[in-house]
Amino acid sequence: MKTHFSIAEIKTTITYLEPLFDVVRLVDPIETAILTIKNGKIHREKYSCYKVWNKTNRCETCSSMCALTAQCPKTKHEFLANNIFYVVSQPIFIILTESEIIKAVLEIVSRNSDHLLETPGQQQNFFALLNETQRKLYEDELTGVYNRRYLNEFLFLQNKNSTIPEKLTIIFLDLQDFKSINDTYGHLTGDRLLKHIAQTLVTNVRNQDSVIRFGGDEFIITLTNCTEDNIQYKIDKLKEKLYAICYDTKNNLHIRANFGYSHSNKFILSKTMLHTMIKKADSMMYHEKQLAKHR
């Protein structure tokens, strides 16, 4: 499949597709901008791409952002005025000069046929089913926080952010001696504690931040547009909130966790950089864990 286009080629392609589909457009999902071609040049319009769906902020699951990061086509359904639209997002490269190439996404939108859903009740049920399916794709089944798919597809960058933030903090935390809690009190108690811990983390971060269950008793918290000066303060507050959870009143036992973090003022949208930051935060957390064991 062709992925590299000159300005003339992509303009011809859009012109050819427009009579066939409801919407054909170029978008920059990083800045949620519409790209237009005028006089042989690319222009960024002030109109945000999500406004076509009557939304006031970036789509929670932006298929174009996912396509751009994965560099492969992505699809989704969108809803507008009781109509269902099928969206295909194809990442492309537009060649401006030999040394200047811009990344963009070609969005093709088609309205689903009316006969598929004959009554308003069928439409609402279908909307609800699609929304529920979409939510479950990115939700940890036990705790209700986000899962690793949400992390790997960079959706944490889109959370309540109209444009992709450059400042990113990864906080990695591991619960102390949680295996012994499961062994002593049973896995049902351990599961209840994990739910309580996850919700405690969620209620003590900002709406634009994300709590992700990384696996077992490990969690990642992503902070966007946060200065490094505030990170340790946030970690200390989270430790305090977790310690407030007492799981054995008789023996006065509380939840403790080890934390590590990494921070970047210029985060680049790449899996390599994301994994590097996670590894650094994990290493810092492990160092704190070893110190705690010695103490």
Q: Spell out the SS3 assignment of 168-179.
A: EEEEEEEECCHH
Q: Give the whole-angstrom CA distance, residue 288 versus residue 275.
A: 20
Residue 235 banded pLDDT, cuts 50, 70, 90: very high
Q: Give the whole-angstrom CA distance, residue 59 versus residue 54.
A: 10
Residue 121's pLDDT is 62
The helix/strand/coil state of 7 is helix
Residue 233 banded pLDDT, cuts 50, 70, 90: very high
Burial label for 280, CB within 10 Å (0-12, 13-18, 19+), is middle
Q: Which residue has the higher pLDDT, 71 or 122?
A: 71
Residue 126's pLDDT is 65
Q: Give the whole-angstrom CA distance, residue 77 versus residue 83.
A: 10
**Residue 224: how many CB atoms within 10 A of its CB?**
21
State if pTM tops 0.85. no
Give, in order, the Cα–Cα distances in Å from 142 to each of 149, 185, 196, 239, 263: 15, 18, 11, 22, 29
CA dihedral 54, 59, 60, 64 (to 10 degrees): 150
Specify the range with the lowest mean pLDDT, choosing from 6-15, 47-56, 135-144, 257-266: 47-56
Residue 292's pLDDT is 76
Residue 115 has pLDDT above 70, yes or no: no
Q: What is the rounded average pLDDT of the residues 81-86?
A: 81
User: If we measure between CA atoms, which residue out of 87, 86, 83 comes closest to residue 123?
Assistant: 83
Q: What is the rounded average pLDDT of the residues 8-20?
A: 94
Average pLDDT of the chain?
89
Contact by Cβ (8 Å): 274, 154: yes
Q: What's the chain's length in residues?
A: 295
At 146-164, the pLDDT tens digits run 999 999 989 898 877 777 8
User: Kind and range of the H or E element at 284?
Assistant: helix 271-294
Share in percent of the chain as helix, strand, coil (round to 5): 40, 30, 30
Burial label for 79, CB within 10 Å (0-12, 13-18, 19+), is middle
Residue 116's pLDDT is 53
Q: What is the rounded average pLDDT of the residues 250-279?
A: 94
